[in-house]
Chain A
Amino acid sequence: MDPLVIAGRKFNSRLMVGTGKFSSNLAMQSAMESSGCEIVTVALRRVDINNPGDNMLQHIDRERYLLLPNTSGARDAEEAVRLARLARAAGCEPWIKLEVTPDPYYLLPDPIETLKAAIILVKEGFNVLPYMPADPVLARHLEEAGTVTVMPLGAPIGTNRGMRTRDLINIIIEQANVPVVVDAGLGAPSHVAEAMEMGADAVLVNTALADTPNPALMGEAFKNGVEAGRMAYLAGLGPQRAKAQASSPLTGFLREE
């Protein structure tokens, strides 16, 4: 497949994978492996000092996967910037998935705080991949601020409801000069195929891979969905029509005229 290029870096996979909510590190690894992903997201949280648990980074091969820390949990720009700086101090490359989600029920991204944080982080040298509402005007502002992608949501995080924002994402794709990564809400291979058929450059999936008894098989299913969608986009889909158009010849029927 044609490579995805973000901030001058080439990726052979157009599927990014989130590492949250897996039943075990092994389940997470098997989904990463079978999905063919090359970018994986992680979050930053306080250590429970009474029960530190194990170090999840030891389960991710940093040679193979680009670690993309997110700023999840941030309620405003200030908290997001703080998390991004912590991620960089922890030794990550300066790539950050910017998330500012003050609303605890739908986890919808705050457009104003996201843009504010993006402006600061771009100035500090981060490659910023902002999670955002599917708003074409905001996408242009983020791009002008220097973000390396835009990441509109298909549906709220973890809902598995698919491309509910389809019409707006179409406009974003039409206007964007940076890769469009559809993030959040994509719950089935058909959802990611739909996004890719529309011309999205990539997708990010987490819940759908974690929330299944067989993450390895689901990872492969999503890989195939992304590739099928991308190939169809590159090939060019036929137009939709209101009326039937016969596929078989309309002559030579075995009947009297």
Chain B
Amino acid sequence: MNMHVNGENHQFDAGLTIGQLLKQLELQPDRVVLELNQNILNTTDSINTELHEKDKLEIIQFVGGG
């Protein structure tokens, strides 16, 4: 399936969950905050949420800043 992740198109297997995606990207769930189709998710509660074709996912983290 085709999805928009952090502003870019990516192909993933159909039926992928958020937990599986983070694992695939080697990202610990506790270091990121997620926004799915403009809705902020509670990362821990949404580990089993299934992703769908054309979903827009933002994976955000803290970085240094002033």
B59, A47: Cβ atoms under 8 Å?
A: yes
- State in angstroms the CA–CA spacing of A97 and B27 once bound together: 27
Find out whether the CB atom of A18 lies under 8 angstroms from the CB atom of B66.
Answer: yes
Q: Which of B20-53 contact A (CB under 8 A)?
A: 25-28, 31-33, 35, 40-42
B40 touches A19 (CB 8 A): no
Asked whether any CB of chain B lies closer than 8 Å to the CB of A7, the reply is: no
* Per-position binary interface string of chain A over residues 66-109, scored 1 when its CB falls under 8 Å from any chain B CB and 0 otherwise: 01011010000000000001110110000000000000000000
The verdict on A20 contacting chain B, using a C-beta distance below 8 Å, is yes
User: Are B40's CB and A49's CB within 8 A?
Assistant: no
Instruction: Check: A204 CB closer than 8 A to any chain B CB.
Output: yes
Within 8 A of B (CB), among A1-32: 18-22, 28
How many residues does chain A have at the interface if contact means C-beta atoms less than 8 Å apart? 34
CA distance A81 to B10 in the complex (A): 27
Bound complex: CA of A47 vs CA of B23, how far in Å? 14
Task: Flag if A90 contacts B33 (CB, 8 Å).
Answer: yes
- Please determine whether A49 and B6 come into contact, CB atoms closer than 8 angstroms: yes
Q: Is B63 within 8 A of A56, CB to CB?
A: yes
Stretch from A36-44, A133-141, A160-168, A174-182 that touches the partner: A36-44
Decide if B33 touches A19 in the complex (CB within 8 Å). Answer: no
The reply to whether the CB of A45 lies closer than 8 angstroms to some CB of chain B is yes
Q: Give the top 5 A-B pairs by smallest Cβ distance, nearest first.
A: A43-B65, A18-B66, A206-B66, A90-B33, A19-B64
Provide the residues of chain B in CB contact with A87, threshold 8 Å: 33
Q: Which residues A160-207 have CB closer than 8 A to chain B? A: 184, 204, 206-207
